[in-house]
Amino acid sequence: QQPVQSPQAVILREGEDAVINCSSSKALYSVHWYRQKHGEAPVFLMILLKGGEQKGHDKISASFNEKKQQSSLYLTASQLSYSGTYFCGTASNAGNNRKLIWGLGTSLAVNP
């Protein structure tokens, strides 16, 4: 039931783009994206609810394909500050929003 994130790790040069995927074997109600820098707390990025909406925040956006039970996080023109581990958390219904199931994370390193 744990969502599968891919890739496990990615290394970019500043300005390059990346896509991080989060796939579930269960039908999803929502997908939550967080970024955690080494030694720090996870920080909220965005939430996507079923309906296939796409959201964006600065140069980070995400999509949610309800039929494929998959969400993708898009990082464009990456900056050094994007480095960290990206986690997706999933909920199968609104009531489960309180106990998200998290993927293992995708480690992203952006180099100058």
Partner 1 sequence: DAGVTQSPTHLIKTRGQHVTLRCSPISGHKSVSWYQQVLGQGPQFIFQYYEKEERGRGNFPDRFSARQFPNYSSELNVNALLLGDSALYLCASRASSGANVLTFGAGSRLTVL
23 makes contact with partner 1 (CB under 8 A)? no
14's CB contacts (< 8 A; 6+ apart) are: 78, 79, 80, 110, 111, 112
102 makes contact with partner 1 (CB under 8 A)? yes
38 makes contact with partner 1 (CB under 8 A)? no
Q: Which residue has the tokens 């929003």?
A: 97
30 makes contact with partner 1 (CB under 8 A)? yes
With CB under 8 A as the contact rule, the residue among 24, 64, 87, 110 that binds partner 1 is 87
Rg (CA), the chain: 13
4 makes contact with partner 1 (CB under 8 A)? no
How many C-beta neighbours within 10 Å does residue 59 have?
13
Cα 97 from Cα 112, distance rounded (Å): 37
Query: Considering only 12-20, 27-35, 51-59, 61-69, which stretch makes contact with partner 1 by CB under 8 A?
Result: 27-35
67 makes contact with partner 1 (CB under 8 A)? no
Contact 78, 17 (CB under 8 A): yes
**According to CB under 8 A, which residues from 41 to 60 bind partner 1?**
41-44, 47
Q: Report the interface residues with partner 1, using CB under 8 A.
A: 2, 30, 32, 34, 40-44, 47, 87, 89, 94, 97-105
